């Protein structure tokens, strides 16, 4: 039996697919189940074809996943592996996120200069910082002021690093999780506090997608599904869906689960919606006891109702 796993052809996408397959093999070995063969299918997406435009300028949604989802829906592949932040909140009816892998650090990092170096240099001249994310651009300008120039930059992480080395820009801001997965930690100049410099909803989580009617794929997914990642990933995506904005909108979030001494768990959610027409900052605490589906749904409902009410009252 061969399990076909679809993904983009980028180095990061392929690495994330390898992480999923190795994790699944490990869990199958632990459970004593037979291990199938795996075949990685590279699929080119709209986002891979359009390289001369910032992500915020590409029309539509799901430009890193749509073509892969089409192959999945047609039964040409058994799994699709994505960065959760790239998956639209509205999904095809017959598909489901079957596994949320354990989350890597979700924040952003700077390569090329430290925060202090950027602040000092920007007092004398323009500092060029590369990113294709409008969310990052908004927060960078708020953090460092107007004397930075944001340079649209796309491509693999090593390509972006070379742009810094060739002085095409002074620094780049990228997701910490991608740096970890590709082994470029030694290139990090500084860390952006995720409580202050908010990350994209779902960032740091590898998402596995399957057809709802594929019983084997659903079963295998359960072996690698991480309860905490599923909770936070679902929560963050649902807030985006309720409040407004897609996976390529400037929407920043911070959420974490803290264990209390008594055994209960608490989700701390910091939500910030960054849009040109309005700027919403929201923070709240919610107590939880478990991560089953009813708890997720109930917590999401309560949070979204409260956030929507606060937004209506404020604006």
DSSP per residue over 222-262, as a string? HHH--HHHHHHHHHHHHHHHHH---TTS-EEEEEEEEE-TT
The residue that leads in pLDDT, 57 or 92, is 92
Among 197-201, 245-249, 267-271, 304-308, which range has the highest average pLDDT? Answer: 197-201
Q: Rounded CA gap, 153 and 130, in Å?
A: 5
pLDDT of residue 211: 98
Mean pLDDT of 2-31: 97
The DSSP symbol for 60 reads S
pTM greater than 0.95: no
Inform me whether the pLDDT recorded for 311 exceeds 80.
no
Of 30, 218, 78, which is closest to residue 22 (Cα–Cα)?
Answer: 30
Of 299, 267, 269, 266, which is closest to residue 283 (Cα–Cα)?
Answer: 269
Query: Which residues are 171's β-sheet partners?
Result: 129
| Contact predicate 250/134, CB 8 Å | yes
Of 208, 262, 254, which is closest to residue 230 (Cα–Cα)?
Answer: 208
pLDDT of residue 277: 40
Inform me whether the pLDDT recorded for 51 exceeds 70.
no
Inform me whether the pLDDT recorded for 247 exceeds 50.
no
Q: Rounded CA gap, 129 and 137, in Å?
A: 9
What three-state secondary structure class fits 187?
helix
Query: Which helix H or strand E contains 6, and what residues bound it?
Result: strand 2-7
Q: Is 86 one of the annotated active-site residues of the chain? A: yes
pLDDT in tens, 54-70: 666 666 678 789 999 99
| Contact predicate 199/236, CB 8 Å | no
Q: Which of 37, 48, 86, 264 is catalytic?
A: 86
Specify the CATH class of 108-191 in words.
Answer: alpha beta
Cβ partners under 8 Å of residue 275, min gap 6: 245, 249, 250
Domain definitions of the chain by residue range: 2-104+201-314, 108-191
- Dihedrals phi, psi of 305, to nearest 5 degrees: -60, -45
Inform me whether the pLDDT recorded for 2 exceeds 80.
yes
| Contact predicate 231/297, CB 8 Å | no
Of 164, 163, 191, 151, which is closest to residue 175 (Cα–Cα)?
Answer: 191
- Fold match between domain 2-104+201-314 and domain 108-191: yes
Mean pLDDT of 73-98: 96
Which tokens belong to 172? 């780049």
Among 63-67, 137-141, 143-147, 273-277, whose mean pLDDT is lowest?
Answer: 273-277
Specify the CATH class of 2-104+201-314 in words.
Answer: alpha beta
Residue 26's pLDDT band (boundaries 50, 70, 90)?
A: very high
**Average pLDDT in the chain:** 87
The residue that leads in pLDDT, 138 or 270, is 138
pLDDT of residue 276: 34
Angle (CA) 48 202 182, round 5°? 55
Inform me whether the pLDDT recorded for 246 exceeds 70.
no
Mean pLDDT of 245-265: 68
CA-to-CA dists, residue 46 to 19, 63, 160, angstroms:
24, 5, 20
Inform me whether the pLDDT recorded for 100 exceeds 80.
yes
Burial, 232: exposed, middle or buried (Cβ in 10 Å; 0-12, 13-18, 19+)?
buried
The residue that leads in pLDDT, 272 or 149, is 149
Q: Rounded CA gap, 152 and 134, in Å?
A: 10
Helices and strands in the chain, H and E counts: 10, 13
Percent of the chain with pLDDT over 70: 82
């Amino acid at each position: 039996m061969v399990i076909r796993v679809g993904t983009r052809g980028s180095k990061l996408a392929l690495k994330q697919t390898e992480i999923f397959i190795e994790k699944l093999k490990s869990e199958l070995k632990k459970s004593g189940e037979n291990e199938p063969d795996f075949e990685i299918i590279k699929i080119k997406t709209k986002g891979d074809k359009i390289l001369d435009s910032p992500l915020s300028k590409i029309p539509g949604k799901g430009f890193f996943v749509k073509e892969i989802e089409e192959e999945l829906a047609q039964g040409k592949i058994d799994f699709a592996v994505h960065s959760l932040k790239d998956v639209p909140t509205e999904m095809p009816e017959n598909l489901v996120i079957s596994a949320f892998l354990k989350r890597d650090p979700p924040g952003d990092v700077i390569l090329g200069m430290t925060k202090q170096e950027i602040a000092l240099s920007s007092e004398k001249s323009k500092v060029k910082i590369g990113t294709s994310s409008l969310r990052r651009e908004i927060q960078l300008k708020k953090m460092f002021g107007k004397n930075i120039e944001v340079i649209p930059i796309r491509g693999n992480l090593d390509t972006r690093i070379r742009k810094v080395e060739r002085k095409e820009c002074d620094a780049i801001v990228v997701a910490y999780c991608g740096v970890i997965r590709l082994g470029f930690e030694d290139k990090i100049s500084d860390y952006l506090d995720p409580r202050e410099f908010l990350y994209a909803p779902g960032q740091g989580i590898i998402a596995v997608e399957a057809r709802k009617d594929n019983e084997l794929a659903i079963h295998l997914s359960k072996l690698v599904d991480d309860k905490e990642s599923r909770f936070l990933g679902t929560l963050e995506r649902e807030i985006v869906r309720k409040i407004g904005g897609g996976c390529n909108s400037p929407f920043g979030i911070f959420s974490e689960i803290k264990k209390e001494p008594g055994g209960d768990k608490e989700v701390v959610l910091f939500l910030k919606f960054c849009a040109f027409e309005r700027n919403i900052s929201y923070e709240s605490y919610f107590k939880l006891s478990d991560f089953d589906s009813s708890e997720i749904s109930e917590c999401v409902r309560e949070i979204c109702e409260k956030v929507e009410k606060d937004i209506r009252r404020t604006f």
